[in-house]
Amino acid sequence: MEFQGKCALVTGATGGIGAAIVQRLRAAGAKVAVADRDTRTIEAEAHLPGDLLEPDYANALPQAAQLALGGLDIVINNAGVITRGPVTETSDADWHLSIGVNVEAPFRICRAAIPIMARAGGGAIVNTSSCWGSKNPGPNHAIYCMTKAAIASLTQCMGMDHAHQGIRINAVCPNEVNTPMLRSGFAKRGFDPDTAVAELGKSVPLGRIAEPEDIADVVMFLASDAARYMCGALVEVNGGKPVS
Ligand code: NAD
């Protein structure tokens, strides 16, 4: 996959999946602007740290990336948060956090990036949904699943609405991935993350849960010209495991 000279913005860039995406894009020749709360731990051509819950920051990110890199061909909306529990155990703070990071920020970033890409003749956006929410419910994570369903629907609609501008908008939908998001959830519930990850892997037909690179490679495909006829697709990456 050829990314030489392409300019990409990646959110959640220092997280498990985000760091793998940044590494892969740069190795393939892209210039990358990284966005996260603190980006000092990761190498990139441009650093755009900030809080995605701040509307002005999210609105301005695409233009900031374009100015810093000299263009904007690819946006990867990867940042996300997970909150546990049924609605009866969901606080207002959890609601606002989940909607803010998982739905509102990608909406703001897409809204600002699309005109920039349209003026340049096209581009590719990859959003991050989940096997939980894209088509199926998931147990005990009601608000998280709802946000992932929302970004899946937004992706399908935007994929349709902006294809005529040469902008392809798709979403990756991972099942369980071995990242800080998953591991900290195990730790919070009193499980040893390594043991829990190994146990969970037994429930996957491929014999293990995904590593960040397994997801990053599918994101790379969706961002690349190899996916040139894909618009509004929700691509599940699940090792053969049906969603419970
Ligand atoms: P992670 O926790 O390792 O990374 C998430 C990143 O988002 C972090 O670096 C974090 O700092 C950043 N972020 C969160 N809130 C932010 C804010 N307000 N402002 C700026 N940055 C913020 O998680 P991950 O597993 O790598 O998840 C990446 C994406 O994949 C998320 O959208 C997640 O929902 C999705 N996903 C993960 C799994 C999984 O099992 N790990 C499964 C399905 C989908």
Nearest atom of ligand 1 to the alpha carbon of 51: 19
Ligand 1 centre distance from Cα of residue 91 (Å):
20
62 pocket-lining for ligand 1 (C-beta < 6 Å): no
Helix (H, G, I), strand (E, B) or coil at 44: coil
Nearest atom of ligand 1 to the alpha carbon of 18: 26
Residue type, 136: N
Domain interval for residue 105 = 7-175+211-237
ipTM over 0.90: yes
Asked whether residue 192 is domain-assigned, the answer is no
**Percentage of the chain surpassing pLDDT 90?**
96
Asked whether residue 114 is domain-assigned, the answer is yes
- Output the pLDDT for position 244: 60
Considering the candidates 12, 15, 50, 144, report the single residue annotated as catalytic: 144
Contact (CB, 8 A) for 206 and 240: yes
Helix (H, G, I), strand (E, B) or coil at 82: coil
Asked whether residue 242 is domain-assigned, the answer is no
Stretches where the chain sits below pLDDT 50 are none
- 144 catalytic? Reply is yes
Beta strand segments in the chain, E: 7-11, 31-35, 46-47, 74-77, 123-128, 167-174, 234-237
Q: What is the pLDDT of residues 100-138, one digit of tens each?
A: 999 999 999 999 999 999 999 999 999 999 999 888 899
Spatial distance between the Cα atoms of 207 and 200, rounded to a whole number of angstroms? 9
Name which of 103, 125, 96, 109 is nearest 224 in CA terms: 125
Burial (Cβ within 10 Å: 0-12, 13-18, ≥19) of residue 164: exposed
Domain at 114, CATH number: 3.40.50.720
Ligand 1 centre distance from Cα of residue 142 (Å):
17
Give the residue, out of 21, 36, 237, with the most ligand 1 atoms within 8 A of its beta carbon, to mutate for a pocket test.
36
Asked whether residue 198 is domain-assigned, the answer is no
Burial (Cβ within 10 Å: 0-12, 13-18, ≥19) of residue 228: exposed
Number of separate domains in the chain: 1
Contact (CB, 8 A) for 74 and 9: yes
Asked whether residue 183 is domain-assigned, the answer is no
Asked whether residue 104 is domain-assigned, the answer is yes
